[in-house]
Chain A
Amino acid sequence: MRRIIVEYEKCDGCKNCSVACMQAHRKTPGTVYDLNLTDPENESRNFIYQADDGTYRPVFCRHCDEPECVMSCMSGALKKDADSGLVTYDEKRCASCFMCVMNCPYGVLKPDRVTNTKVIKCDFCSQDGGEPNCVKSCPKGAIHVEEV
């Protein structure tokens, strides 16, 4: 399977990846130049946090080998795809219980801000051929995709 490898030492906190993620998942047409960063509809699936020493820690979904989120899902919405290895989310099946939010050990998941009915989760940009836009947008090479 493929995973986004994080080299946090290279990250300088520009958050291009988060903006790219918001752009990739926006519901309205348009380019990154007119993306409304303050619209709660636009949410990033990845998170760049500043550590106490001022450096940055990129927190991205691992599409875990043994995904705890899947092991808490009571509707069948979250699944580990046997072929691709990706952990996929089916919004239509989701029952909005948010046990998965509680169960992801890295705190990657969250309910959507607008309706609290959906889970905001990395989909490896399957709509763009499975090439994550965050990776494409990183100017520092702090994240890259690797076959693991």
Chain B
Amino acid sequence: MRHVIIGTGAAGITAAAEIRKQDKDAEILMISSDSQVHSRCMLHKYLSHERTAGELDFTEEGFFEKNNISVVNGKAAAIDTEMKTVFLESGDEIAYNRLLIATGADSVIPPVGDLRKASNVFGLRHLSDAQKIDAMAEKAQNILIIGAGFVGLDAAYGLLERRKKVTVVEMATRILPLQLDEHGAKAYQELFEKEGVTFRLGRRVQDAVCGPDGQIHSVELDSGESVPCDMIIVAAGVRPSAGFLENSGIKADRGIEVTSRMETSVKDVYAAGDVTGLSGIWPNAMKQGKTAALNMCGVKQIAGADTEYTDTFCAKNTMNFFGLVTLCLGALIPEEGDEVLTEENKRIYRRAILRDGKVRGILLQGDISNSGIWQYIIKNEINVSGKEKKLFRLTFADFFGVGERGKYVWTF
């Protein structure tokens, strides 16, 4: 049996490890356009020179040798699902029995002015992006970042360490608009501003014209303001990396369509991770990778684990900038009729959105100790009626149960 996996990210690597666990003898071959395995979530540490490229590797030492997994460096350009073959850009052909597509996502550069054609405009998704940004940051002083989401702020954070002048333009009226409320966002904004970052909120880039050198030296905002820059990082969203599937017969809309067993519309072809469009965060990519692997190995049931992707909850995130930590889960904006509980002091900010005795969303800032229970409470819609008074002091003790072999079980 030959398993071929395209992509060595969270989903691909988790799948490879799981296939090996299930099947000592199967052949496992991975195809990757990355020069080396790396965690995208740590790219800001590369930009800040806190870590080398090698230190972004999230696999254990000797992972590929130990697990007898071979890797081909290259970019998949097409798949022939009848011949069961992957074609690489280099012209090489790789045959498979079972195929996993775990190609993640790519940055979207909006078609504004010359953004797509200028040579000093980058996304931040791959190590190769970070390397280009890093090389240009040697000379660039004024850096413009489009988008104050997670990725944009990661970029800003990394480059601040290099003492660059950073301006961030964001369409929404606050930073991290998908993760935080006004209050929580303000706390980070102030920290970034204290370090010298300038924000242009509620603004969009309207035009950006290339000079004769092929670079953009200033952009025009919708306010009419012109912002000078030596380099632009676009962090305005991503798109599943599925372009090479055209004509393959594998159904894809926003992402590759999959069943709960991570099967695509074509037999023996599976997909997992950001490329499915089901989620855009690391834990879900890992889970999907594991689920795909189990099913690729024909494991339909396994003790203690899921062989279907049922834990789909993905409105969850943590962040840590300047040592200020935040957890955000579920709904962010209260709807009419929702109850909102808040708690605040110099050190912390807490906010919960409740409806009909259930927590729809929670935001904890400053102290996220022992906060793991919240994901469970929210995704399982556990009723907390009567506990509102001590809501922020709930612990696992309030749901405590012990099951077989000393495992904990949730009781409610």
Contacts and interface: CB of A to CB of B under 8 A. Distances in A.
A95 B371 contact: no
A56 B395 CA distance: 12
A146 B320 contact: no
Interface in B261-290: 281-283, 286-287, 290
B405 A3 contact: yes
A24 interface: no
B372 A105 contact: yes
Interface string B367-381: 011111111100000
The prevalent SS among residues of B at the interface is mixed
A48 B405 CA distance: 20
A96 to B, nearest CB: 5
Contact of B287 (A71, A107, A110, A115): A71
Interface in A62-96: 62, 64-66, 68, 71-76, 79, 93, 95-96
A116 B397 contact: no
Given A102-B375, A107-B371, A76 B57 contact: yes
Interface string A102-128: 111111111101011100000000000
A57 interface: yes
Interface stretch (B38-46, B100-108, B178-186, B249-257): B38-46
Contacts of A36: none
B370 A110 contact: yes
A46 to B, nearest CB: 11
Given A4-B406, A57-B397, A74 B39 contact: yes
A148 B405 CA distance: 6
Interface residues of A, number: 48
A3 B404 CA distance: 12
Interface string B278-321: 00011100110010000000000000110000000000111110
Given A8-B400, A47-B395, A72 B370 contact: no
Contact of A148 (B59, B323, B371, B406): B406
A96 B372 contact: no
B244 interface: no
Nearest to B290: A71
B343 interface: no
B396 interface: yes
Q: Which of B41, B324, B410 is packed against the most chain A CB atoms within 10 Å?
A: B41
Interface string B220-253: 0000000000000000000000000000000000
Contact of B397 (A59, A93, A97): A59
Interface residues of B, number: 48
B155 interface: no
Given A57-B396, A74-B282, A8 B375 contact: no
B194 interface: no
Contacts of B320: 96-98, 111, 116
B370 A109 contact: yes
Interface in B360-412: 368-376, 395-398, 400, 402, 405-408, 410
B97 to A, nearest CB: 26
A71 B376 contact: no
Interface in B331-346: none
Contacts of B369: 101, 110-111, 113
Contacts of B319: 97
A99 interface: yes
Nearest to B370: A107
Interface in B29-54: 39-42, 45
Given A71-B283, A99-B318, A6 B406 contact: yes
Given A47-B370, A106-B408, A95 B45 contact: yes
Contacts of B10: 74
A62 B407 CA distance: 6
Given A59-B396, A75-B58, A95-B42, A105 B304 contact: no
Which 7 A-B pairs rank lowest in CB-CB distance, beginning with the nearest?
A49-B397, A110-B369, A57-B397, A104-B372, A72-B283, A107-B370, A76-B58
24 contacts: A6-B402, A8-B402, A47-B370, A49-B396, A51-B398, A57-B397, A59-B408, A71-B286, A71-B287, A73-B58, A74-B42, A76-B39, A95-B41, A98-B368, A99-B318, A101-B327, A102-B368, A105-B372, A106-B372, A106-B408, A108-B396, A109-B372, A111-B325, A115-B323
